[in-house]
Amino acid sequence: MSTATQTRTAPALRFAAGVLRPLLNVIVTMTAVIVLWIAFLQVYDLDPLVAKSPVDIFHYLFTGADAGAHRSLVSSGLGRTLLDAGFGFVAGLAAAVGVAVVFVLLRSVEQALLPMAVVVRSVPLVAMTPLITLIFGRGLMATTVISGLIVFFPALVTMTFGLRSASRQAADLCRAYGAGDWTIARKVMLPSAVPAFFASARIGVPGALIGAMLAEWLSTGQGLGYAMLKDSSTFDYDHLWASVAVLTAVSALAYNIIAAIETVALARFAPNIRPGT
């Protein structure tokens, strides 16, 4: 193969490797989870009535006599939980980006509002859930707020740091050509914060799922969050463990899908930065 051909194919190979690597990570992650799961059951010798093994869950979902009904039951609850988590994830991440831009451009706003945000974050979300339910009801809006709050605060800190890491020389050059603060934020700061955005997104995925289940447990009475609460009182531990296993797999898959999208985005906006850094 000629040097010119190698030069042309090398970026494509790196791009393909960057996209396929997250898919391999899902397999590795789930394999590690299953190994730790089995080891945990072996070490602590738990009652099989309560503690279910991966083989038990596979039988419950795929090979048992009522496997089809069990899959339908889990998937219906999962669909509701993913809807709740998806809205909360998008709302929390979008709010964090917007507030971070305002904080970076208007330091007086940051100095006034950041202490309030810290106070709100210090209050346990379990204690805030009844108040949020009273204000927003027991529907999708309440789950969006609860799930979004978990995503919002870590994303706000990460995005603020990412925006402030933008090149000062590039910003000064834009000002020299008459660009305003908002133009600099759009043309310089936001592209520089792409790695921080995807870091926030990866962190926010499990948080959004946890927030959605918390809202379902305490507020809406729907989804896997509420179903798992009922499982513990009705001794339906097969469904409980199956729900946990499915949610773990979905969380790992969503995390690595975002990592694959990050590879594509960094190739466009920050080619010199490796994904995941």
Whether residue 16 has pLDDT greater than 80 = no
Q: Which pLDDT band holds residue 11 (cuts at 50, 70, 90)? A: low
19 or 173, higher pLDDT: 173
Query: pLDDT tens-digit profile of 145-184?
Result: 999 999 999 999 999 999 988 888 888 888 888 888 888 8
Whether residue 259 has pLDDT greater than 80 = yes
Domain boundaries, the chain: 12-269
What residue type is assigned to position 165 of the chain? Answer: S
Whether residue 210 has pLDDT greater than 80 = yes
pLDDT value at residue 109: 86
186-193 average pLDDT score: 87
End-to-end CA distance of the chain: 32
Residues near 21 by beta carbon (within 8 Å), at least 6 away in sequence: 259, 263
12-269 CATH fold? MetI-like fold (1.10.3720)
Question: Do 218 and 133 contact (CB within 8 A), yes or no?
Answer: yes
pLDDT value at residue 188: 87
Q: Is 47 left (phi over 0), alpha (psi -120 to 50) or beta?
A: beta
Question: Do 143 and 216 contact (CB within 8 A), yes or no?
Answer: yes
